[in-house]
Amino acid sequence: MDGLLLLDKPKGITSYKAVECVKRILGVRKAGHAGTLDPLATGLLIVCLNTATKMVPKFMSLDKEYEFVMLLGRETTTDDVEGEVIREVDVFDDVGQRLREVVQRFIGEIEQVPPSFSAIKCGGTPLYKLARRGKAVVPPSRRVFIHNLDIKRISGRRIFGRVVCSKGTYIRALCRDIGRALGVGGCLEELRRTSVGCFRVEDAIGLMELEKTQDPAAYVLSGADVILDQNPERGAS
């Protein structure tokens, strides 16, 4: 069985674990995902099956869209709410007006320092493993591109937004940097990937649904379907 499965990853499991579940349900020996989602995150995970795994780099290079909730006034070791709190401050009432001005600085090409807790490797070892050993390494900055950054709603310290970005963009780092630009700090509270290129989470299946369906193979995109959806002109902008 060769092709793609569009999976709506649930919260609380790693992308690796999600892929292992897909392999078991479909009975395939080889599978890989096209872009990690942290355990905190939900949403679209493209799972490539058997010979389709050679297309992983192609899918990873596509732009991605996320919906997120940012918590202002808190900084953590992981840049999300699951990390150890290193700073917490009060957030003032004028943050909404200031926020809409600040986010404009983060649209277009920006320099971003990835989180110290990430899968980026230093000397062959993932940074998150070094951080857990008390040897946190600040990775070098990288250039990423933010196509769109919309603030949908503000509720107290919580900012609800949507972002379309290039590969390699960390939304945890984006929340951290926006919070610092506001002078109060910030971290990621919730994250959902809604699209990768032209692939949408609305077309994905959840793990529980995949487990229960009588014909899980029917959800695998293969052959002409996969080739058609690789057309870059149909990708997100």
Question: Does the domain formed by 3-62+197-234 have CATH 3.30.70?
Answer: yes
* Residues 36-52: tens digit of each pLDDT: 999 999 999 999 999 99
Active site residues: 38
pLDDT of residue 188: 98
Structure tokens at 177: 């940097």
112: enclosing H helix or E strand: strand 108-112
Give ranges for CATH 3.30.2350.10 in the chain: 64-195
Under a CB-based contact definition with an 8 Å cutoff, are residues 73 and 88 in contact? yes
Give ranges for CATH 3.30.70 in the chain: 3-62+197-234
Residues of the chain with pLDDT under 50: 224, 227-228, 231-237
DSSP 170-232: -HHHHHHHHHHHHTS-EEEEEEEEEEETTEEGGG-EEHHHHHH-S-GGGGEE-THHHHHHT-G
Q: Report which of 203, 209, 216 is spatially closest to residue 25, judged by C-alpha positions.
A: 216
Residue range 64-195, CATH number: 3.30.2350.10
**CA distances in angstroms from 234 to 80, 182, 230, listed in the order given:** 32, 36, 8
